[in-house]
Amino acid sequence: METISRTKIADLFKNKPFGTQVNVKGWVRTRRGNKQVGFIALNDGSTIKNMQIVIDLQKFDEELLKPITTGACINVNGLLVESQGKGQDAEIQAEEIEIYGTADPLTYPLQKKGHSMEFLREIAHLRPRTNTFGAVFRMRHHMAMAIHTFFHERGFYYFHTPIITASDCEGAGQMFQVTTMNLYDLKKDENGSIIYDNDFFGKQASLTVSGQLEAELAAMAMGAVYTFGPTFRAENSNTPRHLAEFWMIEPEVAFIEIAENMQLAEDFIKYCVRWALDNCKDDLQFLNDMFDKGLIERLQSVLKDEFVRLSYTEGVKILEDAVAKGHKFEFPIYWGADLASEHERYLVEEYFKRPVILTDYPKEIKSFYMKQNDDGKTVRAMDVLFPKIGEIIGGSQREENYDKLYTRAKEMGVPEKDIWWYLDTRRFGTAPHSGFGLGFERLLLFVTGMTNIRDVIPFPRTPKNAEF
């Protein structure tokens, strides 16, 4: 074949250099035609749109064309022309075709028909080749770029926190252990406790549940930092909202209090949504048309209004009033209850009809590091609640007073030996500071309109599932 440098299909649709010889390479989505002419829909992953390759069958050996079936990978030289057909504005009249790899129609699982999400999870190694997952994973990239750009433009530093840790930041205890010990022959002391002396780190170590505590240390030196990395929870939660391995974005900022923290969260999430609308038009339109007819409208509505600022106490009162008027919730609502997703969604979708930032939660249901209010009952926590998914961001002003933090950690059973270094930041030049955490996949659920969190990460890790 003549050597012409490859052009991505996305660039051909964008620049439309009609009348020029072009080269495209990609995977066959479909092939159809009649005795005179064949049509191949070719996709190279750069856009949701397929490039139509038109083949004049007189010009090609029938035996060469036979193996070009759905899933095959081909290299095409041809003339880019304006398309006469509906649905696309450009097509390539093929002059030379080379087959890189065939896909046996009897065994290739992605034939031209609708596939269920469950089936596609079973072939996660092939699902990026579908329109849906191509769109989702391109948007995943774009959201990562939006996040880094947002913080970089505001003078934050990207700070890398450890993935292996010896501290349980949330006190939840649901951590994956990391060990080099022989699990068939564990040495134990007289109390039956495992002896970790010979383990790699000489102590019990786990995969991190959050980079927050380390990010706070960095904020106490660099002013404003953010983490963006994988986190792990060994919760046995088989729900459409939980993963055992997911990505978290956690900004920590010195010298800001709860009100500025809420504003930062609102600005941040609006920036990401605007980025999606500006940079992912074709993918969003596809997901809107195929999965969630209200997706684009919902994204635009988030940008329109200020988020509601609401105290937990006022929120509970609204929910109790709803129950009194006959609204049925699955879970009971009372002051002191940890709100369920249905409660959060009622406030957002039915009562206020826009995102809500809920603040000042009872201290009993929040972590030890949150700043205590003067009432002795609540802490300066904040959760950003969104339509369709409930909580998307959780954060707080952090407790900067050493004595209060030490006492609260003790009350909640967090061992001092695990957090001595964290307490030190309150002993040496403490300062007011705040931060929050955004589950990256929760953001992706919102911007893609997908309904299951397993469908916005390439290889989901869930109970009893670690394939690929």
- pLDDT bracket for residue 173 (50, 70, 90): low
What is the average per-residue pLDDT within 442-466? Answer: 96
pLDDT tens figures, 117-130: 999 999 999 999 99
pLDDT value at residue 1: 86
Residue of 50, 55, 38 whose CA lies nearest to 12: 50
Identify the residue whose tokens are 């087959």.
99
CB 409 within 8 A of CB 421: no
β-pairing, 378-386 vs 356-362, is antiparallel
* % of the chain surpassing 90 pLDDT: 90
Which of the pair, 22 or 112, is modelled with greater confidence?
22
DSSP 201-261: TSS-EEE-S-SHHHHHHHHHHHSEEEEEEEEE------STT--SEEEEEEEEEET--HHHH
State mean pLDDT over 300-321: 97
For the record, the structure tokens of 178 come out as: 């990391």
| pLDDT, tens only, 377-407 | 999 999 999 998 899 999 999 999 999 999 9
Average pLDDT of the segment spanning 339-348: 96
Exposed, middle or buried by CB within 10 Å (0-12, 13-18, 19+), for 359? buried
Residue 81 is given by DSSP the state E
What lies within 8 Å, CB to CB, of 175 at 6+ separation is 168, 206, 207, 209, 232, 233, 234
User: In the block, which residue shows the tokens 């869930």?
Assistant: 462
Long-range contacts of 148-155 (CB under 8 A, 24+ apart): 148/228, 149/275, 150/268, 150/271, 150/272, 151/226, 151/251, 154/224, 155/223, 155/224
What mean pLDDT comes out for the span 99-116?
Answer: 93
User: Within 13 A of 145's CA, how many CA atoms are on the CB side?
Assistant: 12
Tell me the three-class secondary structure of 290-339, residue by residue. Answer: HCCCCHHHHHHHHHHCCCEEEEHHHHHHHHHHHHHCCCCCCCCCCCCCCC
In this predicted structure, the answer to whether residue 170 has a pLDDT above a threshold of 60 is: no
Looking at residue 167, its pLDDT comes to 63
Helix, coil or strand: residue 100:
strand
pLDDT confidence bin for 312, thresholds 50/70/90: very high
Residue type, 235: E
Residue 168 pLDDT: 52
Within 8 A by CB and 6+ apart from 462, the residues are 238, 242, 243, 244, 454
Decide: residue 440, CB within 10 A, 0-12 exposed, 13-18 middle, 19+ buried.
buried
The C-alpha atoms of residue 437 and residue 394 are separated, in whole angstroms, by: 5
What distance in Å separates the CA atoms of residue 47 and residue 142, rounded to the nearest whole number? Answer: 13
Other C-beta atoms closer than 10 Å to the C-beta of 87 total 8
| Mean pLDDT computed over 231-236 | 92
- How confident is the model over 233-241, as a mean pLDDT? 87
Please give the average per-residue pLDDT across 436-447, as a whole number.
Answer: 97
The C-alpha atoms of residue 47 and residue 296 are separated, in whole angstroms, by 18
351, 354, 360, 365 alpha-carbon torsion, rounded to 10°: 80
Q: What is the mean pLDDT of the chain?
A: 95
* Residue 389: per-residue pLDDT: 87
- Range picked from 60-64, 133-137, 409-413 for highest mean pLDDT: 133-137
Mean pLDDT across 6-13: 97
Place of tokens 């999400």: 117
Is it the case that residue 172 has pLDDT exceeding 60? no
Q: What is the pLDDT of residue 236?
A: 87
Whether 344 shows a pLDDT value over 90: the answer reads: yes
- For residues 166 and 50, give the distance between their C-alpha atoms in angstroms, rounded to a whole number: 49
Q: CA–CA distance from 378 to each of 311, 368, 399, 437 (Å)?
A: 10, 12, 12, 20
Is the separation of the CB atoms in 50 and 282 below 8 Å?
A: no
In this predicted model, what pLDDT tens digit does every residue of 276-297 receive, in sequence order?
A: 999 999 999 999 999 999 999 9
Is residue 416 classed as helix, strand or coil in its secondary structure? helix
